[in-house]
Amino acid sequence: MYPLEVLGDLVSAAYNKYINFKKITHLNTHDNLTGLYNRKCFISEMKKLDKKENLPIGIIMTDINGLKLINNSYGQQIGDQIIIKSAELLKTTLKSNDIIGRWGGDEFIIIMINTHKQEVELYTREIKNLINIEPQSKIDISLSAGSALKITAEEKILNLIQQAEQALFTDQLTKEKSSKNKIVQSLLSTLRNKSNETEHHSVRMAELAQELGRAVGVGNNDLNKLALLANIHDIGKITIPESILNKPGKPDKEEWEILKKHPIKGAEIASETDEFAPVAEEILSHHEHFDVSGYPRGLKGKEIPLLARILTIVDAYDVMINERPYKKAMTKKEADLELQRCAGSQFDPELVDKFFKIIESDL
C-alpha cells in the first residue's frame, strides 16, 4: 500500500501527463490560430467519412478576400484576427455533423455528409454573403467560396477537392477587384482619420498635377494617373504608428527610418490591386529628389518617373500655402520662392519653371 501522500503525488503526476498528452494531441491535429482541424487531420477525417452510407458528400472551399493586402497594410496581427473571425463566422453556418478545417493561410474547407446539391449550393451562397467588420481596422471581411458534390462511391474524394478549388478560383476572379478596392478605400479613410491629410488636399493636388501635366504634354491616360496618384500617393503611411505620423516636432533617427519606408509600403499596397497597380512605381518614387538626396532608392534627375516629379512639386506647394496644425500657411509668393530655391535639388527645375508659369497669374 502507498501512503496517501505518495498516492496523491502519483495521481497528480498521471493527471498532468494525461493533460500534456491531450495538449500535444490537440496541437498535432488542430490549427494553432483558429482551433480548427489542420490540413493533415482534416484529410484523415475526410477519408474516414468517405463511405457509401455518407453519400452524397459535399466539399466547400472558401478563401478570405484580400488577406495579403490587409497583412501588408495593417500588419499580420490584424490579419490573424481576421482569420480567427472568419473561422468563427464559418462555424455559425455549419450543421452538427459538418466538419471544417483550415486548409491553408487564408483558406478553409468544409465537408458535408448526407447532403444534396441544393443544400451545398445554399451553404456556399451563405458563405459568400458572410460579411463582418473587424473592429480594430474597420475592414469588411468577405469570403469567396466554391463547392463540389460527390454522388457515387466511385468518385475520388480528392478530385472533389480539386473541383471545389476550381469553383473557388472562379468566384475569386469575380470578387477580387471589388474587395481589394474596398480595402484600399478603407485604408484611405483610416489614413485621413489618423493623419493631418484631408481629402481637400488630394483634390487640390489632383487639379494642380493635371494642370502641370497638360503644360508638359502629358497624355490623357497619364493625366488620369496623376489624379489617382494625388489621391493615394501616401497610402503607405497607414503602416506608420500615429504617434510618429502626427508628432509635432522633427522625428528622431529611428522614427525617420520608419517614415522613410512608407513609399515602399505604399507601392506594395497599390501593386495588390488592378486599379492602383499602374501608379505603384510613382508611389515608390514620390519622395525621390532631383539631386539624388531623396528616398527610398536615391534616384537622380530623370531616373525619377515624370508623374512622380510632377506630384512632388504640387504636393510641396499645396502643403506650403495651406495651414496645418503644426505650421502657418505661406503666401503664394513665399511658396513660389521656396520652389525656386529647391529647383535642381529637390525638384526638377524644368517642371518648376512650367509650374511657375501656371501659378504666376495668382500671385
Given this model, what pLDDT does residue 318 score? Answer: 93
Structural domain harbouring 24: 1-30
CA 66 and chain centroid, separation = 6
Residue numbers of the chain with a pLDDT score lower than 50: 21
Given this model, what pLDDT does residue 9 score? Answer: 57
Given this model, what pLDDT does residue 192 score? Answer: 81
Residues 140 and 67: their CA atoms lie apart, in Å, by 11
- Domain for residue 156, yes or no? yes
pLDDT in tens, 76-98: 998 999 999 999 999 988 888 99
Is residue 305 located within the same domain as residue 342? yes
The number of domains in the chain is 3
Quick one: CA dihedral 308, 314, 317, 318, positive or negative? negative
Is residue 168 located within the same domain as residue 232? no
pLDDT in tens, 90-136: 998 888 899 999 999 999 999 999 999 999 999 999 998 887 655 55
Is residue 348 located within the same domain as residue 266? yes
| Domain final position from 183, 217, 236 | 183
- Domain for residue 190, yes or no? no
Residue whose cell numbers read 469567396:
144
SS3 track for 269-332: HHHCCCCCHHHHHHHHHCCCCCECCCCCCCCEHHHCCHHHHHHHHHHHHHHHHCCECCECCCCH
Residues 52 and 34: their CA atoms lie apart, in Å, by 31
